[in-house]
Structure formats: C-alpha cells, structure tokens
C-alpha cells in the first residue's frame, strides 16, 4: 500500500512542541531555517513514498541470500540505495567539510523515521553508515577521516559495527577477537562476529567495518577493548580500491523479519585494520555510534508504527463488515475499531515527539556544549529507544487485530510490520538494558536531569486546562524517582523496566498537553484519548516498580518448570 509521509506532524512538533527554533538560532545550525527544513523533509518524504516504500514487500518475499560468499540483495534495493546516495540523504547531518549537509540530527531523524516506515530493511544500511560517520568524526585520525568520510557520506562505501560474538552478547567484556600490531602501524584483526547487519552488500563499492577487539597487552574486561576500522577491500591512499581484505561472510541468519537486510556471521582472519581512538578505549568510541544508533532504533520503531497505522487505517476505511451503531458498514465506524485507531495515533504522536525532543537536546549540546543539554539528551535516549520500539511492536500488533483474520494472512502485508519491528526491542541494547542504563548510569547524577525534566512537565500541566491528571502523574513520578535514588542496585534493577515505562507514559502525556495548547480540535481530542486510555497505565507501572525482586528471584530453575 502507499505510504504518506507525516509532514504536517513533523512541522507541528518541531515548531510547537520541541522548540526547534532554539537549534536554528545557534551559529552551528543557522542554515536550518523553516523553509530549508520543510524543503528537505518534503523531498525526503517524496523519495520514501515513491521510491523506497515499493521495496518493502519485495524485500520480504525475496530476501537477501548468500551466493558464493557474497550477499545478493532483493530486487530494487540497489536502485533505491542509489537514489538515497545521489540525493545526499546519507550525509544529512555529516560534516560539510567531507560532503555532508551539516543539518541538525533532528532533521536527519525525521527523514530516517519516514524511511523506516517505507522500508525498514533497507533503512538499516544508511542508518549504520550514518552512525559510523559520527564515530569517525569524533574519534578517527585526520588521515582516516580524509580517506573514509567522503566515501561513506557519498554512499560509495557503507559502514557496519561489529560488537557481538557467540559468547559475548550484552557482556562485551567476554569478547575474544584480537588485534596484533604491525610495523607499518596497521593491525591484524582476527575473530568471529555475529548479528552484523549489512555485513556485506552488492550495491556499495566497499563495506567498512568498525570492529571491537583486544590488543596483546590489553587488560581484562571491558577496559581492554579497542576499536578498529577494517574495510572489506583495502583502499589505496588516493581512495581507489586495492586488495581484498582477509575477512568473509560465513553465513546469513534466518530471521523472523527484516528479510531484506542481511544479518551476517563475519570471520576476520588476520584482516588489516586501523586503530580508531586510543588503545583500550574502544567502547567509548563505539558508544558514540551506539548512542546514535539507539536513538535511530527507537525511531525505527516509530516509523514501523506509522506504517502499520496507515495500513490499518486504510483497511478500516475500506472493509465492510456488519452494521455499525451509526448504520454505516465500514469497520472504522465500529467504536472499538475507532478506539484502537485513536490509541495507535496517540502512541505514535507521543513517541515521535519524545524522539524529536531528544534530538533537539542532542543538537543543542552539539551546538552549545551545554552540560544541561547533554544530560537531557542522555536521559531521553534510553526512553526514546525503549518507548519507540515498544510502540512499534504494540501498534503493529493492533494493526493486525484491526485487519481481523486478514491480518494473519501474509498477503495483506499487515503482519510484516510486526515481524520487522520486533527485533528493534532487542538490538542496540535490549529495552531492559535501556531501563538499567536509566536507573543506573543516568541516575548517577543524583536525579538532576530527571528532576529538571519533571519540572518542565509540571509547568506544562499547570498551564493546561486538561493538566490535572498529568500534574498528579508527574508528582507520582517525582516520588518514584526519589524512591529509586534511595534504593540499592538490586531494587533499582528489579524496578527499572517499570520505571522507564512509567516515565515514558507521563512524558507522552506532557507532549500531548503541549499539542492541545494549539487549540486545534483534533489535537485536543487526541490528547484526551492519551490521557484517558494510556496515561493511567503509569500507576500500574509505578506499583510494579516497587515490587520486591526477591519474590521471583527466590524461584529456583526447577520451580519454573512445568
């Protein structure tokens, strides 16, 4: 089915919800004028609708495959990627010195949401490249930047990140890949990596892998990990391609969804690599890319939710089934169908506004160096990732329900949204890890960032005629935050997921209250839907947060068997 870019929502949120005018007022992003941003998103939306969206279904039914050690992509992917590259879309936020547009991350995030809705499998390729560009901009030597960044930004080359190993998933301290220094300043990288999205492709000239590995003198644990840039084909000094490197794709994973995106098992056998950043500081460098990716993955969830919502809405308007209370026959006039659609729309709006607020904070931190902005961006990142992907899953699931029996039939395309988006709650740090990050590292400031945001939310509630339930929820969340700060890490860990979900619920209500202040009747009605049907969940989450983890930790493995 066709995809309609939500351009009006983007414009409304940027101008009336997240105060994007602050970003364009900085010297760094002065060119991000309203006309410029609207032109970029309008053209990007057209590309996603007309070129990228038609690739979603073909990539599902004709997935990537491995032939003679090389990936063969689905029909049309090469042409779709070429359109992205030719339009400069891969480097929207990249440094103009190397060919990028230099736009704020807020703008690139809006574009990548549209691309996620259009074709999530293909979107993963430039998203990873974008993250690698940012990592190299921050941590690579000048020589590496000069050689690699123009090629990555232009789309001639693509990028990946290689963290996970068979024995080292979340626990990266257990990784075994090694890197041996050579006399010419390069390193020989050896080891196996798994779950490498777009570890190979047939529409870029080169694939550049960022690989975590250990130097011979590395200390044990996560403090002994370094980061290396390992290209598929070793480039010459002038950027032309030289000899193939000593790496290969061992196999492709067979997955629930995102069939158009190859998830590779990679083998490095003394492959030539270059150190990125300082020795033994690889995680810090890689986390530049991972933090970018965590926001990006949250936005993948939002994009999938938007696509599933549009798919379900179109079906509900067309499907005739039984008399409704209004006497019409389209199922959209059944109260429960209308309720589900309204909830889907309300969830998508809240998640989108949170993600864009996160990006505004990132851009303001980049442009001003303000510690407060960096702290807010840090606080919002795990919420964006977890709530965005949870929303993608929940909305896609509701989309299937609205289709009824036809939603369970693959030909309608409704199920693909759920199959594709399901992994987003897992990769780039599971949503449980996001919650642990929130109550651990992010509350390590004594709650300063959390309380500053709660103050803003309370101000919005006080200024709104609809704000009473939100004010109560904000106060409950404040008390919950104080409770978290008083607990040991076991109690925090036990309540982390519930706390993050409660915070996201209340933050979503805050965004809807701000939208209702526009006075637009549909915005007011949608805010009421969120306050009536979704905000009350925060109370249940906060109650669960305080539950003693000893209750379930006391259950031995044998107690959990049937």
Residue 428 a catalytic site member: yes
Q: Which tokens sit at 131?
A: 């993250």
Burial of residue 485 (CB within 10 Å: 0-12, 13-18, 19+) is middle
pLDDT band at 346 (very low <50, low <70, confident <90, very high): very high
State the Cα–Cα distance between residues 345 and 395, nearest whole angstrom: 9
- Tell me how far apart the terminal alpha carbons of the chain are, to the nearest angstrom: 44
- Lowest model confidence (mean pLDDT) among 135-139, 149-153, 171-175, 489-493: 171-175
Provide, rounded to the nearest whole percent, the portion of the chain with pLDDT above 70.
Answer: 100
CA distance 432 to 3: 32
* Catalytic, out of 67, 79, 428, 537: 428
- pLDDT exceeds cutoff 80 at 428: yes
Work out the average pLDDT over 388-393.
98
pLDDT (average), residues 493-516? 98
Give me the pLDDT at residue 222, please: 84
Tell me: the pLDDT tens digits for 134-160? 999 999 999 999 999 999 999 999 999
Asked if the model's pLDDT at residue 291 lies above 90, the reply is: no
Q: What is the mean pLDDT of residues 332-357?
A: 97
Residue 562 has pLDDT above 90, yes or no: no
Looking at the DSSP assignment, which residues form a beta bridge with residue 66?
71
Q: What is the pLDDT of residue 322?
A: 82
Q: Is residue 290 very low, low, confident or very high in pLDDT (cuts 50, 70, 90)?
A: confident
- The Cα–Cα gap between 343 and 214 comes to 48
Least confident among 257-271, 317-331, 506-520: 317-331
pLDDT interval class at 288 (50, 70, 90): confident
* Predicted pLDDT at 285: 83
Q: Backbone dihedral region of 471: left (phi > 0), alpha (psi from -120 to 50 degrees) or beta?
A: alpha
Which tokens is 202 given?
A: 């047939």
Residues paired with 158 in a beta bridge: 207
pTM for this prediction: 0.97
**Please, what is the average pLDDT of the chain?**
96
pLDDT reported for residue 89? 97
DSSP letter at 49?
Answer: I
Residue 443 CA from chain centroid, whole number? 22
Predicted local confidence at residue 104, as pLDDT: 98
**pLDDT tens profile 30-46:** 999 999 999 999 999 99
Lowest mean pLDDT among 166-170, 361-365, 455-459: 166-170
Q: Give the domain ranges of the chain.
A: 430-552
Question: Could you give the 3-state DSSP secondary structure of residue 252?
Answer: strand
Q: What are phi and psi of 483, to 5 degrees?
A: -60, -45
DSSP structure class, residue 214: B
Element (H, E) at 211: strand 206-213
For residue 177, what are the contacts with CB-CB under 8 A and spacing of at least 6? Answer: 165, 189, 190, 191, 192, 193, 211, 212, 213, 214, 268
pLDDT in tens, 320-339: 988 878 777 899 999 999 99
Residue 200: predicted pLDDT: 98
The pLDDT of residue 289 is above 80:
no
Give the residue-averaged pLDDT of 203-218. 96
Name the helix (H) or strand (E) containing 513.
helix 489-516
* Measured CA distances, 463 to 251, 349, 384, 538 (Å): 57, 21, 25, 21
Question: Pairing mode, if any, of strands 178-181 and 187-197?
Answer: antiparallel
**Strand 263-276 vs strand 226-231: parallel, antiparallel, or unpaired?**
antiparallel
- pLDDT over 80 (residue 442): yes
CA 119 to CA 51: how far, in whole Å? 10
pLDDT at residue number 537: 98
């Amino acid at each position: 089915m066709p995809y309609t870019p939500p351009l009006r929502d983007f414009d409304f949120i940027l101008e009336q919800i997240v105060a994007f005018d602050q970003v364009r007022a900085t010297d760094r992003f002065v060119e991000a004028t309203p006309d410029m941003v609207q032109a970029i998103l309008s053209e990007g939306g057209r590309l996603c609708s007309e070129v990228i969206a038609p690739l979603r279904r073909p990539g599902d039914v004709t997935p990537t495959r491995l032939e003679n050690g090389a990936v063969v992509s689905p029909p049309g992917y090469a042409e779709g990627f070429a359109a992205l590259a030719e339009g400069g879309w891969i480097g929207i936020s990249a440094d103009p010195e190397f060919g990028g547009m230099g736009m704020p991350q807020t703008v690139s995030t809006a574009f990548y949401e549209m691309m996620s809705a259009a074709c999530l499998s293909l979107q993963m390729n430039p998203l990873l490249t974008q993250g690698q560009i940012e990592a190299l901009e921050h941590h690579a030597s000048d020589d590496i930047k000069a050689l690699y960044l123009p090629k990555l930004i232009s789309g001639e080359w693509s990028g990946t990140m290689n963290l996970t190993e068979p024995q080292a998933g979340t626990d990266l301290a257990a990784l075994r890949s090694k890197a041996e220094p050579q006399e010419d300043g390069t390193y020989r990288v050896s080891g196996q990596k798994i779950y490498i999205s777009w570890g190979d492709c047939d529409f870029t000239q080169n694939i550049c892998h960022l690989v975590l590995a250990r130097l011979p003198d590395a200390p044990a644990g996560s403090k002994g990990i370094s980061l290396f840039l390992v290209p598929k084909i070793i480039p010459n000094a002038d950027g032309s391609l030289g000899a193939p490197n000593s790496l290969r794709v061992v196999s492709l994973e067979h997955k629930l969804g995102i069939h158009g995106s190859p998830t590779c098992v990679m083998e490095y056998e003394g492959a030539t690599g270059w150190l990125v950043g300082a020795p033994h500081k690889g995680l810090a460098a890689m986390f530049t890319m991972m933090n970018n990716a965590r926001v990006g993955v949250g936005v993948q969830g939002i994009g999938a939710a938007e696509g599933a919502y549009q798919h379900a809405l179109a079906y509900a308007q067309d499907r005739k089934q039984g008399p409704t209370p209004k006497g019409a026959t389209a199922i959209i006039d059944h109260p429960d169908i209308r309720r589900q659609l309204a909830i889907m729309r309300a969830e998508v709006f809240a998640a989108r506004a949170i993600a864009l607020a996160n990006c505004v904070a990132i851009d303001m931190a980049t442009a001003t160096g303000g510690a407060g902005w960096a702290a807010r961006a840090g606080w919002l990142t795990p919420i964006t990732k977890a709530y965005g992907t949870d929303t993608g899953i929940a909305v896609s699931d509701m989309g299937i329900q609205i289709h009824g029996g036809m939603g369970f039939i693959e030909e309608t395309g409704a199920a693909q949204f759920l199959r594709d988006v399901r992994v987003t709650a897992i990769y780039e740090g599971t949503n449980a890890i996001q919650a642990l990050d929130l109550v651990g590292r992010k509350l390590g400031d004594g709650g300063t960032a959390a309380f500053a945001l709660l103050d803003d939310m309370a101000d919005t509630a006080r200024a709104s005629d609809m704000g009473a339930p939100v004010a109560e929820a904000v106060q409950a969340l404040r008390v919950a935050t104080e409770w978290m700060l008083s607990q040991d890490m076991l109690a925090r860990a036990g309540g982390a997921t519930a706390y993050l979900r409660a915070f996201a619920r209340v933050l979503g209500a805050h965004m809807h209250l701000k939208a209702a202040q526009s006075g637009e009747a549909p915005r007011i009605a949608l805010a009421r839907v969120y306050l009536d049907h979704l905000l009350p969940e925060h109370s249940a989450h906060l109650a669960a947060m305080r539950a003693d983890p000893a209750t379930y930790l006391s259950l031995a493995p044998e107690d959990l068997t049937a």
